[in-house]
Amino acid sequence: MSDYARTLITQTLAHRWAVIALSVIVFLLSSVGLTRLTIDSDLRVFFSKDNPQLLQLEAVENTYLKNENILMVIVPRDNQVFNREVLTAIKDMTTALWQTPASIRVDSVTNHQHTWADGDELVVEDLFDDIDTLTQADIEQRKRVALNEPVLLDRIISRDGDVSNIIVTINFVEKSPQIINAIAAHTRQLRDEYSSRYPDIEFYLTGSVMFDTAFSEVGQKDMTTLVPLMLLVLVVTVGLVFRTVIATLMTLIIIIMATGTAMGLAGWLGIAINPASASAPTIILTLAVADSVHILFIMYRLMNQGKSRRQAIIESIEFNFQAVFLTSLTTVVGFLTMNFSDAPPFHNLGNIVALGITAAFFYSIFFLPALMSVLPLTMRVKRYPRQFDIMESIAMFVIHNKTPILVLTLTLVTLLGFSAAHNRLNDNWINYFTENVPVRVATDVLEQRISGADYLEYDISAGKPGGINDPDFLAHLERFVEWLRAHAQVEQVVSITDVMKKLNRVMHNEDDDWYRVPEQHNLAAQYLLLYEMSLPYGLDLNHIINVDKSATRLIITTKNRGTRALSDFDLEAQAWLESHTPQYMNSQGTGISIVFAYLSKRNIVNMLMAAFGALLVISLILIVALRRVDIGLISLLPNVIPATMAFGLWGLLVGEIGLGLSVVVSMTLGIVVDDSVHFISKYLRARERFNMNKVSAIQHAFTMVGPAMWTTTLALVAGFLVLMLSDYKMSADMGLLSAITISIALIMDFLLLPAVLLIADRRET
């Protein structure tokens, strides 16, 4: 490959102006695609179209109504909802929220359909209709009704009557960023307007649509703030290492071109930016720095030894070509394995970054040498004796302590491996945002003051058309509802049995003894028919009963404890139904969090299998490229250990792995291979080309590639740590764990890899 590299770079320099022009043209044409980039902020983008749990959720939503909503949380400063001013604000806000785009239902304490009997006539009207005409006694009487109404309590009104909530149900004909933005803009305008009109009331916005909006806004913010910050970090890092403007500027140009090319191609290919792939530009900027740093470092060192600029460029490419090619290839393989994820956003992230790494390779191998060869500036070459002294010291330490290093490392890996196995699989999509994001603030207020923010739904079959009026079915359903309400995790249950019990009591002169489900089929059907005929448009029962009344939906609100707790609770509920109800009533819970729970489980398994496959592919690539089976197998050790140790540390510090962290092994696998490939290639070059013994070859590898290795690692760690500043917790956690993995990888490459080479390489010089 050395001869091929020399021929390639010689031809590149011979046609340098054409190479520069072609590179710029490719960059500009690709970058035009940036104008075609779109943002997909739908939370459900994480689920593939054939996801079985998503299909179940959509089946329930198609039968009833989708549970996509806007929640307006209303918090009076005096903690009194039931006074004339606050009730007026709620009533007016309820009316205004009916104008929300795509809204089909608005529920609040003021428009709750209060029911009573006037003789044989059933009367249904708003609980707080004409507030100005109500006396304080009237308000107190209606307050008692509200605080004893299961449909309202812990859902619309808090138990203490100090906080209220307005729920706007949204029905998307076609969900698009435009309609989501329109909904968010309308509700925010109302919130701001009413905040000014009622300074003694605080208004907060949450709900699934506001989470969709937050995904889009946080993604855009990350791309406009983290990318410039990452550029600054890289400029400072590379500048401190090279201490020359030219090298820093060239590195900056390469990473900008690689990032612009990848993101532009994503636009041309119709790859949408989503909550996960929004971190792609920062990751590309971080990874693209490695190739140019290795090439420039060797070039500068050769110039420092007195070689001409042209000769230094040729020898640097010849020296680095194999390693740069292999590291780029293995990194691309690692990121492409993200296509095995069950979550499509990670497909986009992996593919975009793979494009960026490929672009960085070609720009570094062709454009960078061509540009460096025509620069008219005189480059003052800096000496780095301190860096080489440090590398030489590390080399001697490893040479003299190879056996203790190997034993200590393997012991530590074993201990952390046990710790890694204790990580619990858990996810929490509600907490995907940091506590300063408005929707997270609103959700925390909702959970602390009124109700939970997580939903679980059960589609309970009655076995036949009209079966929901059957007394036996209602009795079984009521017992299930009672079991649910007694469960510690349940905050609130919406059930048709509450409607039936209320109607039964109303039709028996409000006698509390009759607050139970009707015991006659015809009577239950009659009550329900009268009630439905009295309900206004938009406040019917279609959200909990199907068209032919053969099934009903239970909507359960729970505290936000993560997908693990929710899936465990669902298994309990399924077991209760199987033990206490007819078979046709058996049902499995559904809802966004349950879909996430099963997705996380499948994803961690799929990604571990993908990582294993990638490891085999990468090992085969290294064996073929290095033409040494033993060295290829040796390279596995420092490439597998970092992820094991990182997840072990994570198990000690955090102990939970969610959807975002499930891709870290595959994502970092290709990255951590980079330094080991550079080190091994320099080691083999010394052994085979310069006929050095093992000890001398180790020293040679340290001094030739060591400084570039710690420089690129510093840049990589800094880049991934920048992701921690994201308001999107999935990106922040992914960045932190990746930074830990890459840091450990450098330590392994500086200590374990040379120790293993010294012990295991039996080939004579």
User: Comparing C-alpha atoms, which of 557, 554, 558, 540 is closest to residue 106?
Assistant: 540
Separation between Cα atoms, residue 702 and residue 327, nearest integer Å: 18
Mean pLDDT value of segment 743-750: 91
pLDDT: is 106 or 684 the higher one?
106
β-pair partners for 558: 454, 490
Listed range (359-373, 556-570, 615-629, 643-657) with the worst mean pLDDT: 615-629
Which stretch, 125-129, 573-577, 592-596, 673-677, has highest mean pLDDT? 573-577
pLDDT: is 597 or 759 the higher one?
759
Q: What is the pTM assigned to this prediction? A: 0.84
Asked if 155 contacts 165 with a C-beta cutoff of 8 angstroms, the reply is yes
Separation between Cα atoms, residue 549 and residue 467, nearest integer Å: 6
Mean pLDDT value of segment 135-141: 92
Mean pLDDT value of segment 666-677: 80
What DSSP assignment string belongs to 606-659? Answer: HHHHHHHHHHHHHHHHHHHHHT-HHHHHHTHHHHHHHHHHHHHHHHHHT-EE-T
Q: pLDDT tier at 188 (50, 70, 90 boundaries)?
A: very high
Q: pLDDT tier at 379 (50, 70, 90 boundaries)?
A: very low
Question: Is the pLDDT score of 589 beyond 70?
Answer: yes
Question: Is the pLDDT score of 380 beyond 60?
Answer: no
3-state helix, strand, coil in the chain (%, to 5): 70, 10, 25
Which stretch, 108-122, 255-269, 661-675, has highest mean pLDDT? 255-269
pLDDT, residue 588, reads 93
Which stretch, 129-138, 238-247, 557-566, has highest mean pLDDT? 129-138
Separation between Cα atoms, residue 471 and residue 351, nearest integer Å: 57
* Phi (first) and psi of residue 334, to 5 degrees: -60, -45
* Residue 305 CB partners (closer than 8 Å, separation 6+): none
For strand 424-425 and strand 656-657, is the pairing parallel, antiparallel, or unpaired? parallel
Question: Is the pLDDT score of 308 beyond 70?
Answer: yes
CATH of 1-36+243-363, one of 1.20.1640.10, 2.60.120.260, 1.10.132.20, 1.10.287.90: 1.20.1640.10
Percentage of the chain exceeding pLDDT 70: 98
Separation between Cα atoms, residue 659 and residue 428, nearest integer Å: 9
Which one-letter DSSP state was computed for residue 456? E
Q: Checking phi first, is residue 460 left (phi over 0); if not, alpha (psi -120 to 50) or beta?
A: beta
Question: Is the pLDDT score of 375 beyond 50?
Answer: yes
Q: pLDDT tier at 374 (50, 70, 90 boundaries)?
A: confident
What DSSP assignment string belongs to 97-133? Answer: HTTSTTEEEEE-SSS-EEEEEETTEEEEEESSSSGGG
Tokens 């693209």, located at residue:
288
What DSSP assignment string belongs to 338-371? Answer: GGGSSSHHHHHHHHHHHHHHHHHHHIIIIIHHHH
Topology classification of domain 384-421+603-765: Multidrug efflux transporter AcrB transmembrane fold (1.20.1640)
pLDDT: is 599 or 415 the higher one?
415
pLDDT, residue 660, reads 76
For all residues of the chain together, what is the average pLDDT? 88
Question: Is the pLDDT score of 129 beyond 70?
Answer: yes
Asked if 726 contacts 732 with a C-beta cutoff of 8 angstroms, the reply is yes
Mean pLDDT value of segment 405-426: 88
Question: Is the pLDDT score of 690 beyond 50?
Answer: yes
Q: Is 385 exposed, middle or buried (0-12, 13-18, 19+ CB in 10 A)?
A: exposed
Separation between Cα atoms, residue 430 and residue 562, nearest integer Å: 8
Q: Long-range contacts of range 525-529, CB-CB < 8 Å, 24 or more positions apart?
A: 525/466, 525/469, 527/500, 527/503, 528/468, 528/469, 528/499, 528/500, 528/503
Listed range (1-10, 74-83, 691-700) with the worst mean pLDDT: 1-10
Asked if 591 contacts 456 with a C-beta cutoff of 8 angstroms, the reply is yes
**To 5 degrees, how large is the angle CA 258–CA 287–CA 7?**
65
Domain residue ranges in the chain: 1-36+243-363, 52-210+435-589, 384-421+603-765
Question: Is the pLDDT score of 716 beyond 90?
Answer: no
Listed range (275-289, 393-407, 593-607, 714-728) with the worst mean pLDDT: 593-607
What letters, b where the CB count within 10 A reaches 16 and e where it falls short, cover 389-400? ebbeebbeebbe
Mean pLDDT value of segment 523-535: 90
pLDDT, residue 385, reads 56
Mean pLDDT value of segment 217-240: 84
Q: pLDDT tier at 123 (50, 70, 90 boundaries)?
A: confident
Q: pLDDT tier at 381 (50, 70, 90 boundaries)?
A: very low
Which one-letter DSSP state was computed for residue 176? -
Separation between Cα atoms, residue 251 and residue 297, nearest integer Å: 11
* Residue 352 CB partners (closer than 8 Å, separation 6+): 262, 263, 266, 271, 277, 280, 284
pLDDT, residue 1, reads 58
Mean pLDDT value of segment 278-306: 85
**To 5 degrees, how large is the angle CA 682–CA 687–CA 690?**
90
Mean pLDDT value of segment 347-355: 93
